[in-house]
C-alpha cells in the first residue's frame, strides 16, 4: 500500500498568512494526488485533484503542486473559513490511502 505522510500535523496561523502543507508518498504516484478540507462535524470536501487542478467552486487562494513523491497545498492568504483539517489522498491505485491530516488553527 502507498503510505502518505503529511507535515506538519498541526499548524497555527493568522488570517492573511500564507501557509503550505506537504504530503510525501512512499512511492511515486505521478500527479495522482488530491487534497480535501474537513471542518468539525462535516464531511470532507474535495479541493484539488491531479496535484494541481482546482475543483469547481474552490477559491483561487488554494493551489497545489508536485509530482512523484512530494506534493504541497498552499493557501495564499488565509481566510477565517479556512481553519480546518486538510488531508491528502492518492488516487493512483487501490487501496486508496490518505495522509494523517494537518489541523490548521487560528493563532
Partner 1 sequence: EVQLLESGGSLVQPGGSLRLSCAASGFTFSNYAMNWVRQAPGKGLEWVSVISDNSVYIYYADSVKGRFTISRDNSKTTLYLQMNSLRDEDTAIYYCARAAPDTRILDSWGQGTLVSVSS
24: helix, strand or coil: strand
Q: Tell me how far apart the 2 most distant CA atoms of the chain are, in Å.
A: 38
Radius of gyration of the chain (CA): 13
Among 13, 20, 65, 98, binds partner 1 (CB under 8 A): 98
CA–CA gap between residue 58 and residue 48 (Å, rounded): 8
Which residue of 21, 25, 34, 73 would you call a contact of partner 1, by CB under 8 A? 34
Query: Could you tell me the smallest distance in angstroms from the CB atom of residue 85 to partner 1?
Result: 8
- Indicate the Cα dihedral angle 41, 3, 19, 47, nearest 10°: -50
- Residue from 46, 54, 58, 84 that binds partner 1 (CB under 8 A)? 46
Among 8, 93, 105, 107, binds partner 1 (CB under 8 A): 93
Which residues of this chain interact with partner 1, rule CB under 8 A? 32, 34, 36, 38, 42-46, 49-50, 55, 87, 89, 91-101
Amino acid at each position: 500500500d502507498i503510505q502518505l505522510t503529511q507535515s506538519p500535523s498541526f499548524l497555527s496561523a493568522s488570517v492573511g498568512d500564507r501557509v503550505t502543507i506537504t504530503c510525501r508518498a512512499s512511492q511515486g504516484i505521478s500527479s495522482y494526488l488530491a487534497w480535501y478540507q474537513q471542518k468539525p462535524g462535516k464531511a470532507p470536501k474535495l479541493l484539488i485533484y491531479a496535484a494541481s487542478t482546482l475543483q469547481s467552486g474552490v477559491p483561487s487562494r488554494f493551489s497545489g503542486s508536485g509530482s512523484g513523491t512530494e506534493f504541497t497545498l498552499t493557501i495564499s492568504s488565509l481566510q477565517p473559513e479556512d481553519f480546518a483539517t486538510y488531508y491528502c489522498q492518492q488516487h493512483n491505485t487501490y487501496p486508496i490511502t490518505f495522509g494523517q491530516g494537518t489541523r490548521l488553527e487560528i493563532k
